[in-house]
Chains A and B, each alone.
Chain A
Amino acid sequence: SQQGEEDPQALSIQEGENATMNCSYKTSINNLQWYRQNSGRGLVHLILIRSNEREKHSGRLRVTLDTSKKSSSLLITASRAADTASYFCATDLSGGSNYKLTFGKGTLLTVNP
């Protein structure tokens, strides 16, 4: 079963614009992570935010987490054509014995030059 769901499924913007992607999840989490995937191969970790954090920055990336709404957002500022990729959120399942990292279906971001 998948824990996170990204929204929108696809996003197309112009270079220089900001891109916002959202992730909703179903059960309590310890942490939420965002990953990027180019060309359907290996994923690259972008940022990890813990359940007691509300906002985190890394370069042009800004991640927010709202545990009351079970949602997170990833903002990419001043987008570049090289940011074109699929973006996934990943969550663990807190509580119980079955901890595993589960991914949503992703948002395909296209940044047009």
Chain B
Amino acid sequence: GAGVSQSPSNKVTEKGKDVELRCDPISGHTALYWYRQSLGQGLEFLIYFQGNSAPDKSGLPSDRFSAERTGGSVSTLTIQRTQQEDSAVYLCASSFQSAGWAEAFFGQGTRLTVV
């Protein structure tokens, strides 16, 4: 595709439910990032995939959060047993080189609201 695509763009879920957020990176990009942004705040790093290397999961806030990247392309961020504090915009980005060496292209994000 022409850019990074995230779905859904908005998601409202009840507390305790599981949610899956999807990211389609730009074709050929080996690096993929997930970030979380609360209202008026900066970007909180969650997880980073680079090629076939083990992902850097150091930013995941709890074991309720997990992510996978299938076939080096599409990534899914899963939040289990959602809590109200999980409400935020979840941003995905991809890059054709490893972290920092090339610009990252961002999707438009998924706004998650937990009620």
Question: Which residues of A are interface residues toward B (Cβ below 8 A)?
Answer: 2, 29-31, 33, 40-45, 48, 88, 90-93, 98-106
Contact = CB atoms under 8 A, between A and B. Distances in A.
A42 B91 CA distance: 7
Contacts of A105: 41-42
What does DSSP make chain B's interface, helix, strand, loop or mixed? loop
Contacts of B37: 40
Contacts of A29: 100
A95 B100 CA distance: 12
Nearest to B46: A100
B96 interface: no
Contacts, number: 77
B30 interface: no
B100 A98 contact: no
Interface residues of B, number: 31
Interface centre among A44, A93, A99 (most CB of B within 10 A): A99
23 contacts: A2-B45, A31-B100, A41-B89, A42-B108, A42-B109, A43-B104, A43-B106, A90-B100, A91-B100, A92-B99, A93-B100, A99-B56, A99-B99, A101-B45, A101-B93, A101-B95, A101-B100, A101-B104, A102-B45, A103-B35, A104-B42, A105-B41, A106-B42
